[in-house]
Amino acid sequence: MKVIRDPLHGHIKMDELALKLIDTPQMQRLRRIRQLGFAYLVYPGANHTRFEHSLGTYNLAGILLDQLGIENEEIRVAALLHDIGHGPYSHSTEEIIQKYTKKTHEDVFGLIKKGEIKEILDEFSLSRDKIVKRIKGISDIEILHSEIDVDRMDYLIRDAYYTGVAFGLVDYLRLIHEMDFYSGKLVVKMGGIQAVESLLVSRFLMRPTVYYHHVSRIAESMLIRALDYLIEEKRLKVSELKRMDDYELNVFIKNSEGYARETIDRINDRKLFKRALYIGQGYINTGDLNRKNVRRTEKEIAETVGIDDGYVLIDVPKSPKIEETKAKILVNGDIKPLDEISQIVKTLESAQWENWRIGVYTLKEHLSVVEKVAKEVLGVEKMHRQQTLERF
């Protein structure tokens, strides 16, 4: 038993197996992947990594297993390894990797079927299949990947700690204390209802403030476009991309040419595109502007304005979805979905759309003309103003 110091959880106790696992290249690589992608451009403290989040998740999984009276080494290992499949800049490259490979960051089988991790798991007689299933959430005891899980608890408090934004503070001690098994299912007892509501509202508030802040979204949109070009022109293989860390991807693009090189310089020097237009739900027929035809529309706007392709970016975030609303609550002996018990949670599903925005980004010098043209092309009457700190 050794301990590792974590600013959130104090001391994290790690057994021999866990210590061996974290000293593999797959885990150590996570030290060079920022947890929140480009959020550091808005919140200068947001430099925390997938590595420490993995330790934190492992720690909470252990606390929860203790609370439930379960001894299950595979779950603990899955908690530790659950993020090794992430590409560089975390979620920022998720979409593009998925587009080309049809795989999410949870498809980690390829990473543990050989090499150091495989050897360690074999040494401790642990099933790789079971661990992968835990990570992908295909299992009966849903500690790691569930409506209310330890992954989410750790990242909310961790993101709050490093950004300095007070919203993410979740009473995870209370929440874990109120979790139990009932009829073979992981439930939250009524005593934890406020803690669950708090967790969900925290996520709800963290979205516009941190996770979907327009400055992060702009940097991310720019990077994705640059990667698209590099992949389309066969200058970068997706199979290589997904194994890179932030360092490697950053320097790789810096060593490229043209648009991609210009983009990474803009990101590194924070000379980002600006927001020309911000369109809330209801102000546009979003059916017309799905993620598919976005590039055609961007091109149309750019041509009309008279600038090069790639200098007008349209950012259509995924539809907000909150799985946690279906968390199982134990009420007087019955299991009910959370949104039946809690009005506030029920509301969150639709309220999410209040913070959802399509963004149109371009160079500073073209802002007003792009705004005008984009409104016409997209058929927008009115636009939303940013709801967060103007600059950061």
- Is residue 40 within 8 A of residue 47, CB to CB? The reply is yes
**Smallest gap from residue 2 Cβ to a copy of itself (A):** 4
CB of 55 to a copy of itself, least distance (A): 6
The tokens for 120 are 């360690």
Shorter beta-carbon distance to a copy of itself: residue 10 or 306: 10
Nearer residue to a copy of itself within complex by CB, 40 or 311: 40
Question: Closest distance between a copy of itself and the C-beta of residue 274, in Å?
Answer: 13
- Structural contact between residues 190 and 143, judged by C-beta atoms closer than 8 angstroms: no
Q: How far is the CB of 25 from a copy of itself (least distance, A)?
A: 5
Dihedral angle at the C-alpha atoms of 239, 240, 241, 243, nearest 10 degrees? 90
Residue 53 sits at the vertex; the CA angle it makes with 176 and 181, to the nearest 5 degrees, is 25
Q: Which is nearer to a copy of itself, 103 or 177 (CB)?
A: 177
Nearer to a copy of itself, 285 or 343 (CB): 343
Provide CB contacts within 8 A for 172, sequence distance 6+. Answer: 60, 153, 154, 157, 195, 199
Between 212 and 259, CB nearer to a copy of itself = 212
Q: Report how far apart the first and last C-alpha atoms of the chain are (Å, whole number).
A: 42
Compare residues 177 and 235 and give the one whose CB is closer to a copy of itself: 177
Query: Cβ of residue 162: shortest distance to a copy of itself, in angstroms?
Result: 6
Min dist. Cβ of residue 89 to a copy of itself (A): 12
On whether the CB atoms of residues 264 and 224 are closer than 8 A, the answer is: no
Q: CA nearest 105: which of 53, 60, 61, 148?
A: 53
